[in-house]
Structure 1
Amino acid sequence: MPPATGAAAGHAEPSAAPPRLCVIAGDGIGPEVVPVAVEVLAKLLPALQVTEAEAGWDCFQRHGCAVPAATLASMGACGAGLFGAVSSPSRSVAGYRSAILTLRQSLGLNVNLRPVRSWPCVSPQAGVDMLILRENSEGLYSGREHWESDGVAIAERVISRQACERLAACAVQIAAARNSRRITLVHKANVLPLTCGLFRDSCRAVLEAAGYAAVLDERLVDVAALQLVQSPQAFDLIVTSNLFGDILSDLACHWSGGLGLAPSLNWGSGLALAEPVHGSAPDIAGSGRANPLAAILSVVLLLRYHWQQPLLAERIEQAVSDFLEQEGRIDFGCETTRVIGQGILTRL
C-alpha cells in the first residue's frame, strides 16, 4: 500500500483557487444589470474575485479604443468574464470595431451558446428546451468588407474547416451533457455550396465519428426558421454558422419570453465570456426598468459550462423559475431591476 498523503496523512487538501471574474459593464443598461448578476453569483460563490474592466462605445469615445489592451489582459488573467452590453453605431466610424466582436476574436471565443427554454408565465408555449450552438469568430462577421467600386460594397464570408471542427467538437461535448435526442445542422448549402458545404461536411464528419449519426439531421436556414416558429419543441441542439445562429437564436428566444430572458456564453479554450443578448437598450438606460434576468441566466452558463458547477447553475435557474411563477410578470416599472434582483437573491 502506498504511503498516506494529503488528508489521509493528517494534512488538509489544498483548496481550489477561488474563481475570478472580469466584469465589463459596457454601455446603456449594462452597468445596471451586470451588478445584479454579479451579486447573485457571489451569493453562491462567496470567494469570487471580481476585477472590473472597460469596453464598448462609451469606452471608445473616452479613450479612442473600444477594447483596451488592459481589458484583454484582465480577461486572460481571470479566465471568465461577464459583458453587459455594447452600443455600436450603425455607420462606419474610423477606428471603431464592435467591442464584443473584438473580444470574441481577440480572445479566441470561437463558440457561442444560446439556450432557449420555456419559463413559467412569460413563455408563450411550454415544453421548449433547445440550445443553439453558433460559430462565433468568422462567417460574415469576420470584418472583411471593402468597396469594390463606387456604389458597390463587398463583404466576405469566411468559413474554415478548423473553425467548423472546433464547433462540432464542442457540440459533441454538449450533446453528451444534454443527452441530446436530436442534433440539427443548419446551413444554406444549396445556394452557398462552397462555404456552407464546407461547414456541413466538416461538422457532420466530427459528429458522425463521435457516434451521433443516428440523431443528426440537417435543415436549410429558411426551413429551420419556419420550423422554429411552428414547432420549437421538436428541436434540441442546433449547430450553425455565425450569422445564421445570431438570427435564429433571436427568433427562438421568443419562446423563452423574449430578449430580456436571453442569455449567452462566448466560449473558447480556457476562457468564457457570459453576455446577455438584449443589447444596450439606450431608451431605458438609467430608468430602473432594465430586466436583469438575461444577465443572471448568463452567469448560469458560466457555472454550468466553464466552472463545471451544474448544481449551482440549477439553483439559480430554479430561483428564476420560482420567481416568475410566483410573480407572474417581469415589468415592475422603475423598480424592475431592483425587484427582480432582490427576488432572485431571496430565493437562493
Structure 2
Amino acid sequence: MLRSSLNTLARPAFTSLRAASTLTAGFPKVAERLPTKYGGVYTVTLIPGDGIGQEITESVKEIFESVNAPIEWDQYDVSGMSSSGEALFKQAMESLKRNKVGLKGILFTPISKSGHISWNVAMRQQLDIYASVVLCKSLPGVPTRHSDVDFALIRENTEGEYSGLEHQSYPGVVESLKVSTRAKADRISRFAFDFALRNGRKKVTCVHKANIMKLGDGLFLNTFRRVAEDYSASGIEYNDMIVDNTSMQLVAKPTQFDVMVMPNLYGAIVSNIGAALVGGPGVVPGCNVGRDYALFEPGCRHVAKDIMGQDRANPAAMILSATMMLRHLGLDHIANKIASATFQVLNAGTVKTADMGGKSLVSSGESFIPLSRRTGSSTTSEFTAAVIKNLE
C-alpha cells in the first residue's frame, strides 16, 4: 500500500495518471510507517472539528458505512473554542501517532492574544506533515465566472510566518519572526515536482515575495530554482511569480496555473482565492502529508460557525478529502466509487446546498419549506442521501 519515497519515484510511469483532479489526488506517498490495521480494517483518527465539522464528518461516516469501507474511527471531539480542551487535544495527537492517518474538520483558533495557539498548526508542526495539497478544479454543476480551472496548490506547512515566534520588545512594538530554511524549501519543492510527475501535469510555479524579503523568500525561490534543475530532463516547465501578482493573475486568468508551490502564509491566502474560483470552500478537498503521518481535511480551512447545527453545510469537500484518504490507504476502488457518486451529485446540479446556489431556507422567510417546493435548496442530509443513492 505504501509506495516509494519522493526521491525514488519512477517519473516516466506517472504521465498516464493525468486524471489527477478532485477525483484522483495522486500526491506522492511519502509515509514510511504503516497505518494501523487489524483484520483488514484500518483504524483512522477522526477529529470532527468546530463549526460544521460534526455535520460534514457525519456525512462521511454514513457514506463509508453504506459501502462497508474497512475503516474504524477513533474519534476525538476536540474543540478549539476554549483552552479547556487541551487534554483531549493531546489524546487526539497520541491517536494520530498510533494510527498514522487521520481525517479532521477545522479547529477554531481564537484571535485574542490571551487565547491558545492554533491547534491546527500545532498538529502540522508536531507531526511534521509538511506538505499541504489543495485541489481546485471547475465542476460542470457548479457554475462560476471561470471555467476549466484545474490547479493544485502545494503549501509548506511547518515554518514561515506560522512559526509563531512573536514577542513585544517594547510596549507597542511587536517583533514577529519568519523562519525559512533551505532544507524545508528543498523538501517542499521536490514534493511539488514529484506531484506534477505523478499526475502528468506540465508546469510548476513558485509563489514568493523575494523582491522585498530578499533573504527569507529569496532562499525559498533560489532553492526552488536549484531543485527545478534536477527535474530538467522530465520536461516539466517551471516559473516563479510574486505573490501579489499571483493574486491578480488568479482572478484574471486562472487557467495559466497548473501546480503552485509556496510558503505557508501565501498558501493560506491563495487557497481561499482558488476556492472562490471554483465554487467556494465546500467543494475543495485537501490533505497534509509527511514522512510518517497523513491528515486529511477540507482544502479551504473554514469553521463556518454561522451555519453550524443548521444542516445547511456542503459536505462535498470533506467527502472528497476522505476519498483521498482511502487512496492513501490503497483502497482506490472504494475511493473511486464514492468520488464518482459525489461528482454525479455536484454535476447534476439538482441537489444543491445554499453555497452552490440553492435557495436559502432562512432568507425565504418561512420556517419550513416542503421538499417539493424547494428550488434547489438542499440540506447536508439530503446531499449525503443523494451521494449514497448514486452508490447503489
The TM-score with structure 2 as length reference comes to 0.79
8 Å Cα contact 2:313/2:379 also seen in 1: yes
Distance 1:146 1:201 in 2: 29
| Aligned position for 1:341 | 384
| Aligned position for 1:126 | 147
8 Å Cα contact 2:49/2:77 also seen in 1: yes
| Aligned position for 2:8 | none
| Aligned position for 2:342 | 320
Structure 2 CA distance for partners of 1:123 and 1:298, relative to 1, 3 Å? farther
Instruction: Output aligned runs, 1:162-241, within 5 Å.
Output: 162-211=183-232, 212=234, 214-241=236-263
Distance 1:123 1:76 in 2: 41
Residue by residue, what CA displacement relative to the aligned partner does 1:239-271 show, whole Å, maximum 9, x if unpaired?
111000110111011122111112221111131
8 Å Cα contact 1:113/1:131 also seen in 2: yes
| Aligned position for 1:269 | 291
Instruction: Output aligned runs, 1:72-87, within 5 Å.
Output: 72-87=93-108
Instruction: Output aligned runs, 1:24-63, within 5 Å.
Output: 24-44=47-67, 46-58=69-81, 60-63=82-85
Count how many residue pairs are aligned between Structure 1 and Structure 2: 331
Distance 1:44 1:243 in 2: 38
Unaligned 5+ runs, structure 2: 1-37, 362-377
The percent identity for this pair of structures is 30
Distance 2:62 2:189 in 1: 34
8 Å Cα contact 2:40/2:70 also seen in 1: no
| Aligned position for 1:7 | none
Distance 2:221 2:329 in 1: 30
| Aligned position for 1:107 | 127
Structure 2 CA distance for partners of 1:116 and 1:310, relative to 1, 3 Å? farther
Structure 2 CA distance for partners of 1:214 and 1:49, relative to 1, 3 Å? closer
Residue by residue, what CA displacement relative to the aligned partner does 1:203-227 show, whole Å, maximum 9, x if unpaired?
2222321335750111111111111
Instruction: Output aligned runs, 1:253-332, within 5 Å.
Output: 253-276=275-298, 277-304=300-327, 306-328=328-350, 329-331=352-354
The letter of the residue matching 2:324 is L
The letter of the residue matching 1:285 is M
8 Å Cα contact 1:207/1:213 also seen in 2: no
Distance 1:66 1:260 in 2: 30
The letter of the residue matching 1:338 is S
Unaligned 5+ runs, structure 1: 1-14
Structure 1 residue 321 displacement after superposition = 2.0
Greater alpha carbon shift after TM alignment, 328-337 vs 180-189: 328-337
Q: Secondary structure of 2:75's match?
A: strand
Structure 2 CA distance for partners of 1:70 and 1:232, relative to 1, 3 Å? same
Structure 2 CA distance for partners of 1:313 and 1:123, relative to 1, 3 Å? farther
Root mean square deviation of aligned Cα = 2.2
Structure 1 residue 325 displacement after superposition = 2.4
Note if 1:146 corresponds to 2:189: no
Structure 2 CA distance for partners of 1:85 and 1:66, relative to 1, 3 Å? farther
The TM-score with structure 1 as length reference comes to 0.88
Structure 1 residue 18 displacement after superposition = 2.7
